[in-house]
Amino acid sequence: MSTILGAQLPKDEFLFGLRHFGKLPSMRFARLFPMDRDPDSGQPMHVRLDGAAALIYDGAPWLFGKPTGESLAWLDGDLLAPVTPSKVVCVGRNYAAHAKELGHEVPKEPLLFFKPPSAIIGPFGTVELPKESERVEYESEIAVVMGKVVRRVDRQEALSSIFGVTAAVDVTARDLQRRDVQFTRGKGFDTFCPIGPEIRTDLDLCALRVRGFRNGELAQDGDVADMLWDIPTLVSYISQVMTLMPGDVILTGTPEGVGPLVHGDRFSVEICNRDKSQLSPPLLLDVQCATE
């Protein structure tokens, strides 16, 4: 369903907006620092992954970084969070079934909140369960990475301003979220925003699923068609409020099936095709959990 605040969009307008998506070959962008390199010997690199090779860029590709012509071999453990945003904007209750499971009405407008960039950790990182909370939960989400500066854009322009998507966990201290009026504390602890492992460009943003696996067991499985507000509508809506910068990240909400994270848990988020087939190669974020 494609809606702007509940209004159905003409289908061809939506298809027109997809001209940049689902038609070009998807590319894979990551940030890495080789594990075996002296940590004082340089900066993390932006790279394009091409099989076993990482093609090195001279900057973030959403900030006009270009290939340097150099490449190196890479390992999973070299990968860092693929982006360092100026802000992480999140959308709450964007799937009706999830709003219901938390005992909330379906919102009339998108519900926005922030996670601080300091909450970000990379793939294969560890979520630290803070002593202040007795109930930390996972939320599997599709993360959008912006490719342009946008302010008060319509849905079409919003769509063409997206650089790509990656996977994220909106880790939430549910007890603190419920106790506080603001979401800042419950959503904002260090390590509460795992993201990655890489950004994919040119995916069809209206034909994706987000799936969450706790210790290998399927816990969440959401189709973007069940979002109350689809991805271009969310980007347009947020841009009415604040300027979105290249590299900014938007977490687009979680489907039903949220649940607890405890010490020793492993949690994975996969972005896959609507028919549950994997992307090629699979896009899978994997984190561990440990008490702080």
Residue 63 or 97 having the CB closest to Zn ion = 97
Q: Least distance from C-beta 251 to Zn ion, angstroms? A: 6
Cβ pair 131, 189 in contact under 8 A = no
Q: What separation in angstroms does the CA of 66 have from each of 44, 77, 104, 228?
A: 15, 24, 46, 37
Instruction: Identify residues 133-172 at the interface with Zn ion (CB under 5 A).
Output: 139, 170
Give whichever of 78 and 139 is closer to Zn ion, judged by the CB atom: 139
Which of the stretches 40-48, 53-61, 104-112, 246-254 binds Zn ion when contact is defined by CB under 5 A? 246-254
Residue 57 contacts residue 68 (beta carbons within 8 Å): yes
Question: Per rule CB under 5 A, is residue 248 in the interface with Zn ion?
Answer: no
Can you tell me the distance from the alpha carbon of 189 to that of 119, in angstroms, rounded to the nearest whole number? 6
Positions 27 through 46 that interact with Zn ion (CB under 5 A): none
Tokens of 20: 């940049």
What is the longest distance spanned by two Cα atoms in the chain?
A: 55
63, 247 in Cβ contact below 8 A?
yes
The DSSP symbol for 237 reads H
Burial class of 81 by CB neighbour count within 10 A (0 to 12, 13 to 18, 19+): buried
At its nearest, how many Å lie between Zn ion and the CB of residue 26?
25
The residue (of 139 and 265) whose beta carbon lies closer to Zn ion is 139
Residues in contact with Zn ion, counted by CB under 5 A, come to a total of 3
- Closer to Zn ion by Cβ: residue 170 or 198: 170
Closer by beta carbon to Zn ion, 170 or else 286 = 170
> C-alpha angle with apex 46: 43 to 52, nearest 5 degrees?
110
Can you tell me which of 2, 239, 254, 268 binds Zn ion, judged by CB under 5 A?
254
Reading the block at residue 283, the tokens are 């896009």
Rounded to whole angstroms, the Cα distance separating 80 from 83 reads: 8
Nearest in space to 173 (alpha carbons), one of 192, 145, 193:
192
Q: How far is the CB of 27 from Zn ion (least distance, A)?
A: 27
* Residue with the CB atom nearest Zn ion in the bound state: 170
Q: In this complex, which beta carbon is closest to Zn ion, that of residue 32 or of residue 89? A: 89
Least Å from the CB of residue 290 to Zn ion: 21
CB closer to Zn ion out of 139 and 286: 139
DSSP letter assigned to residue 192: -
Provide the minimum distance between the beta carbon of 46 and Zn ion in the complex, in angstroms, as a whole number.
Answer: 27
Residues near Zn ion, by CB under 5 A: 139, 170, 254
